[in-house]
Copies of this chain bind each other. A is one copy, B any other.
Amino acid sequence: MATTAPGSAALSARGEQVDALPSPYLLFLGDAVEAGYAKTAFGLRDWAPERCIGELALPGARVTTGLPPLQPREAYQRGARALLIGVATRGGQVPELWLPTLSESLRAGLDIVSGMHDRLGDIAELAAEARQLGRRLVDVRVPPDGIPIASGRKRSGRRLLTVGTDCALGKKYTALAIARGLAARGLDVDFRATGQTGIMIAGAGIPIDAVVSDFLAGAAELLSPDAAPGHLDVIEGQGSLFHPSYAAVTLGLLHGSQPDVFVVCHDPLRSHILGLPDFPVPSIEDVIAQTVAAGRLTNPAIRCCGVSLNTVAMDDQAAAEVIAATARRLGLPVADPVRGVGLEALLDACAAA
């Protein structure tokens, strides 16, 4: 995914049935020396600047979000209510080196929000200190309790889902760009987060790939509840129906979301599924056909309303050409929301859902 700034966002996140995260955030960067490890922090800065008060980096870090550097107490005084771990580590473990800062943050009055593989609550001394101080350790990879089995019942309101030809090519950014663009037009819209970074950006959501299989579609139903007739939920997609590891996650999310329309996300330069050289990336046409074939089970009117291309690795002319050629071939609006090309026509199509 691109990590360039798409500008400021103001996304509502009502999360009626989903716990809201404590915020605003102080973004923790650890001692990161490569921007690639701080993608969560950049995502927060780019898409939820109103939730970000400042950043905190350890000595040796060579990455910055450009936000003011603040210590925990100072951040709390300026309104921060949580330290958000905005950096990943190899293997997803919490390094010993971080513990003094995490502890100091708790004492300064901040909760801690993490999307790491290791659960904060499993670090005994941190858990004890949080309990004693009445602070929360929020692991956003942990789904809520009480997810029901999906009922398949048609819900009121409208829904849009982003789907992809592969993982990690723009489903979250596309959903955020559509939600922001439609909100800016005055539409009643919510971004619904299904992955850890999306949840931190929205302040609520369900980590759909961490839900026990039997409850997957039920989690998607819970995430986008009944709404007013004119309301639109823009739901962050996961995986791909053509991904041999994750297609089940994609299908459960599709069935539970019962989208009226979907936007296919695609990287024109990617020939094979990420990390799986034996699996070619499917065509956009195949993804549209298979998404309609599967999705009509819970919404017989499901249709594709457009395509989002990730052209970050192309120059302006090549990007413009592939966007125009794809639109001609499919007869659908095609945009690159990060590049800002074609977005208005895509938003028109989404608004008409």
Contact = CB atoms under 8 A, between A and B. Distances in A.
Interface of A: 149-153, 208-214, 216-218, 241-242, 244-249, 251-252, 255, 276, 278-279, 290, 293-294, 297-298
Nearest to A152: B244
Nearest to A210: B212
Nearest to A208: B213
A10 B208 CA distance: 40
A65 to B, nearest CB: 29
User: Of A209, A210, A242, A251, which is in contact with the most chain B CB atoms at under 10 Å from its CB?
Assistant: A251
A152 B178 CA distance: 33
20 contacts: A149-B245, A151-B244, A151-B245, A153-B278, A208-B213, A210-B212, A212-B213, A213-B248, A214-B245, A214-B246, A217-B244, A217-B247, A218-B245, A242-B297, A244-B297, A244-B298, A247-B255, A248-B251, A279-B297, A290-B293
A252 B290 CA distance: 16
Given A152-B244, A255-B244, A276-B151, A249 B297 contact: no
Stoichiometry, copies per complex: 2
B249 A248 contact: yes
Contacts of A276: 151-152
B290 A248 contact: no
B290 A216 contact: no
Contacts of A294: 241, 247, 290, 294
A213 B209 contact: yes
Contacts of A153: 278
Given A218-B245, A244-B298, 6 more contacts: A152-B276, A242-B297, A247-B251, A247-B297, A248-B252, A294-B294
Contacts of A252: 213, 247-248
A58 B241 CA distance: 50
A224 to B, nearest CB: 15
Nearest to A150: B245
